[in-house]
Amino acid sequence: MKLLGNLDCEAGWAGVQLPEAVQRRISLYAALFAACAPSDGREGDGKDPEPHEIWMPAAVDPARLVAHPGWTPPRLRVSEPRPSVFDLRWADPAAKNANDRSRTLAIAQALGVALPGARVVGSLAELEAHVAGFANRPWICKARWTAAGRDRARGTGATVDGELRVRLGRMLARFGPLVFEPWLDRVADYGVCGEVGAGDVSVAEPHQMITDPRGGFLGVALDAVEPAVAEPLRQLARAAATRVAATGYRGPFAIDAFLYRDPCTAALHLHPLCELNARYTFGWIARGLARRLGIRRLGFDPPPPGATVLIAPGDDHVTAWCA
């Protein structure tokens, strides 16, 4: 199969040229997208199936991609022009509107699950007016199209000055309106994969996401999610995807959600719609690798002893493993 590993899609929608180092990083990760290709019926039989071909933003060292029984890394392609037709794409180039964070916020508001205080801000003056009542509470502003924790800025309280003001001014000039959210004490992170079909929406079982204290993504755990969390996540994913389908989008999607601790009462609450990505995600990749290798976790931090390494660690600190 011919695959388009366009993990730079959000940057393209935002009109941003990614640095070469970032392009190489996401190109290594893009090789894992081959796990999302339909099964050829030979996974796990000890034979090496014909590898898929994947087009990616930058050239990388293919020797860093490690083969295992049931997993054959794809052939890497960077040449231009790319084929006009691909069997599978990480993201549909026409799905810009479906991936707009402001649209996700509008869906969350319509479904009654938006975070209190979340809104779109179009200028520094508008942001300052909005944070005037935030006292000492932390908050974050995000670009409408971005991935992997890029293009965002965190602040606290009602003051927007110094380097923070400069950064936010640059973000507004570069990306246009930003999505403002309160920054909360996250206790656990979750994801739900699904697909928007011609006449229906399918939803998989929720999974756990591994993150660092700043919300940075570290991996996916396919362990069962407790029913009290899993059921509302499934319902919300279906309802949100149905609204995306009304815009004409068809294809894979995933939602991000998290459990957080209330800063006043310490009670735990579920925020069931943090992000909606109308494309493939690493949750999809984890499920594809589970079919082929029987794994339950996909990680991007240093591989622990006994892990199955998929991308050998390098000086760029890029790696991937499963277990």
- The pLDDT value recorded for residue 215 is 72
Whether the model clears a pTM of 0.85, i.e. scores above it, the answer is yes
pLDDT values of the chain reduced to their tens digit, one per residue, 323 residues: 999 999 999 999 998 889 999 999 999 999 999 999 987 544 444 455 678 999 999 999 999 999 999 999 999 999 878 888 999 999 999 999 999 999 999 999 999 999 999 999 999 999 999 999 888 899 999 999 987 667 899 999 998 999 999 999 999 999 999 999 999 999 999 999 999 998 899 999 999 999 887 778 899 999 999 999 999 999 999 999 999 999 899 999 999 999 999 888 889 999 999 999 999 999 999 999 999 999 999 999 999 999 999 999 999 999 999 99
* Domain spans, the chain: 2-91+283-322, 97-113+184-279, 119-182
Q: What 3 state SS string does the chain have?
A: CEEECCCCHHHHHHCCCCCHHHHHHHHHHHHHHHHHCCCCCCCCCCCCCCCCEEECCCCCCHHHECCECCECCCEEECCCCCCCCCCEECCCCCCCHHHCHHHHHHHHHHCCCCCCCCEEECCHHHHHHHHCCCCCCEEEEECCCCCCCCCEEEEECCCCCHHHHHHHHHHHHHHCCEEEEECCEEEEEEEEEEEECCCCEEECCCEEEEECCCCCEEEEECCCCCHHHHHHHHHHHHHHHHHHHCCCCCEEEEEEEEEEECCCCCCEEEEEEEEEECCCCHHHHHHHHHHHHCCCEEECCCCCCCCEEEECCCCCCCCEEEC
What pLDDT is recorded for position 160?
94
* Domain spanning 97-113+184-279: CATH superfamily: ATP-grasp fold, B domain (3.30.470.20)
Tokens 């362990």, residue located: 223
Residue 223 in contact with residue 296, Cβ under 8 Å? yes
Q: Which fold has domain 119-182?
A: Dna Ligase; domain 1 (3.30.1490)
The HSE-up count of residue 162 (CA atoms within 13 Å, CB side) is 7
pLDDT for 35? 97
The strand pairing partners of 195, in sequence order, are 202, 252
Token pair listed for 14: 């935002």
What pLDDT, on a 0 to 100 scale, did the predictor assign at position 148?
66
Kindly state the tokens that stand for 301.
Answer: 């931090």
